[in-house]
């Protein structure tokens, strides 16, 4: 059974995954946190926590709220910063079979370029995912992802600052995600991942004010799956690049829906909080489905629902 997928066909060294199951940024730490729970080397790729130039404390508490079939978070990119990532985390990844992709976020175009430049050539890092879609930071983040010109500017800057393959991660908090995807593709991205969280709010009626410390947060989990799926379907139909589907994927059948919509790979996010084995369970479920349906190569079903 052939499960491997190429996420950067236009890149000189490519980004070949042994299978299409990835973890989503910010929900799987640096991979190390989960390595004692299951064999994470079996996954297609690990996307690590969002990383900024300087370490970040994140937003005021509370930063998490459960909602109907979803999770609202306003972590605000709490992380150790790129220098500590390179010094403390990357060396651990060098012996891993599973490729590690570093998710980056900046407040300016220059921040993104500097991050990409620092990560260039670091052993243990196989690619960069550019987060132009975080709804939980005051400056930068999603601002870049809601405008085709600025999304393209960030993409071009990152592309020229690194020789690593780059994935650009889009926000659903925009009126025309296809326009953004097209601009990013034309600017030289190797692949596009979507979606990040949707902006949301919970109000504490006893306190009579928003529950989260930063008032609004990003909604993730099963509640957003149909939205993410429709966006993946649209974007995959509009661009030639591989797309990576993300948003509410909890079971293998969820993952297969995204693949049939056109995603070459998928990312598992919030599901890992309730079931830390979710990414592996999903991979094994995809394998069982392929066996049952007589599918020899995953490529046979990528985008099949579009034909």
**134 catalytic residue (yes or no):** yes
Q: Which of 103, 162, 174, 182 binds ligand FMN (CB under 6 A)?
A: 103
Q: Which of 148, 221, 279, 303 binds ligand FMN (CB under 6 A)?
A: 221
Q: Check if the beta carbon of residue 284 is closer than 8 Å to that of residue 242.
A: no
User: Could you write out the DSSP letters of every residue in 136-175?
Assistant: T-SSSTHHHHTSHHHHHHHHHHHHHH-SS-EEEEPPS-SS
**Residue number with the smallest Cβ distance to ligand FMN:** 26
CB of 196 to ligand FMN, least distance (A): 4
Q: Does 25 bind ligand FMN (CB under 6 A)?
A: yes
DSSP state of 105: -
Q: Which residues in the 246-305 window bind ligand FMN by CB under 6 A? A: 246-249, 268-271
* 93 vs 258, beta carbon nearer ligand FMN: 258
- Enclosing H/E stretch for 256: helix 252-261
CB of 1 to ligand FMN, least distance (A): 25
Q: Which residues in the 225-244 window bind ligand FMN by CB under 6 A? A: none
DSSP state of 197: P
In the stretch 169-208, what mask flags binding to ligand FMN with x, by CB under 6 A?
Answer: x--------------------------xx-----------
> Hey, which residues are catalytic here?
134
Residue ranges binding ligand FMN (CB under 6 A): 24-27, 49-50, 71, 73, 75, 77, 103, 131, 134, 169, 196-197, 220-221, 224, 246-249, 268-271
């Amino acid at each position: 059974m052939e499960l491997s997928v190429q996420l950067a066909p236009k890149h000189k060294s490519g980004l070949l995954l042994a299978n299409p199951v990835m973890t989503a940024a910010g929900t799987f730490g640096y991979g190390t946190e989960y390595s004692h729970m299951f064999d994470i080397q079996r996954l297609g790729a690990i996307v690590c926590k969002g990383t900024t130039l300087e370490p970040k404390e994140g937003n005021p508490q509370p930063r998490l709220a459960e909602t109907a079939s979803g999770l609202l978070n306003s972590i605000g990119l709490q992380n150790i910063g790129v220098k500590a990532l390179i010094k403390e985390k990357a060396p651990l990844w060098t012996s891993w079979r599973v490729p590690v992709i570093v998710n980056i976020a900046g407040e300016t175009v220059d921040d993104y370029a500097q991050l990409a430049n620092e990560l260039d050539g670091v052993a243990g890092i196989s690619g960069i995912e550019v987060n132009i879609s975080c709804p939980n930071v005051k400056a930068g983040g999603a601002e870049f992802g809601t405008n085709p010109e600025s999304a393209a500017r960030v993409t071009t800057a990152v592309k020229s600052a690194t020789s690593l393959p780059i994935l650009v991660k889009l926000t659903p908090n925009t009126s025309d995600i296809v326009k953004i995807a097209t601009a990013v593709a034309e600017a030289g991205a190797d692949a596009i991942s979507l979606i990040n969280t949707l902006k949301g709010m919970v109000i504490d009626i006893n306190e009579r004010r928003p529950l989260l410390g930063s008032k609004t947060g990003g909604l993730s989990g099963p509640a957003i799956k149909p939205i993410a799926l429709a966006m993946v379907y649209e974007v995959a139909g509009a661009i030639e690049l591989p797309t990576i589907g993300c948003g509410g994927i909890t079971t293998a059948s969820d993952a297969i829906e995204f693949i049939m919509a056109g995603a070459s790979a998928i990312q598992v996010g919030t599901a890992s909080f309730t079931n830390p084995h979710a990414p592996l369970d999903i991979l094994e479920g995809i394998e069982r489905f392929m066996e049952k349906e007589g599918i020899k190569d995953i490529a046979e079903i990528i985008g099949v629902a579009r034909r």
